[in-house]
């Protein structure tokens, strides 16, 4: 098992930046594929990025390519999402997730979830 705690969300103007953090505890961090998902009001949870157990492979959703960067720090057991050039359509609750299964862009393949952190981008 693993416990995930997100932080770093907040209110930012369009074009600004935020860095989200996901602190993992419990089972060894490198045992999990990690990912970020987001959910806006009235919409289904959608994929943002996945990162492999080794950190060597990342897969970004098309809307985030070139703007978001995901990384994992094994010394701190922390997953990061650096978000630049934010847009109002990025407004959502962002969830950190961990999977023991497969490298996946599908939320159903993730076993563990954080509580989410709100990101609001104003225009």
pLDDT digit string, tens, across residues 102-112? 899 999 999 99
With tokens 């359509």, the residue in question is 89
Report pLDDT for 121.
98
In the chain, count of helices (H) and strands (E)? Answer: 0, 11
Cβ atoms 12, 122 nearer than 8 A = yes
Convert the pLDDT of each residue in 79-101 to its tens digit: 999 999 999 999 999 999 999 99
Cβ atoms 24, 10 nearer than 8 A = no
CA triple 29-66-91, angle to 5 deg: 75
| Measured distance CA(73)–CA(83) in Å, rounded | 17
Residue 1 has pLDDT above 90, yes or no: no
What's the mean pLDDT in 11-19? 98
Convert the pLDDT of each residue in 23-81 to its tens digit: 999 777 888 999 999 999 999 999 999 999 999 999 999 988 899 999 999 999 999 99
Report pLDDT for 64.
83
């Amino acid at each position: 098992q693993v416990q995930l705690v997100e932080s770093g969300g907040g209110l930012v103007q369009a074009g600004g930046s935020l860095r989200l953090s996901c602190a993992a505890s419990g089972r060894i961090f490198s045992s999990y594929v990690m990912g970020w998902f987001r959910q806006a009001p009235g919409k289904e949870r959608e994929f943002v990025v996945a990162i492999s157990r080794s950190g060597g492979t990342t897969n970004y959703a098309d809307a985030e390519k070139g703007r978001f960067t995901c990384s994992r720090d094994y010394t701190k057991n922390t997953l990061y999402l650096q978000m630049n050039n934010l847009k109002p359509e990025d407004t959502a609750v962002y969830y950190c997730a961990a999977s023991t299964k497969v490298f996946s862009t599908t939320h159903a393949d993730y076993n563990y979830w954080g509580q989410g952190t709100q990101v609001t981008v104003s225009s």
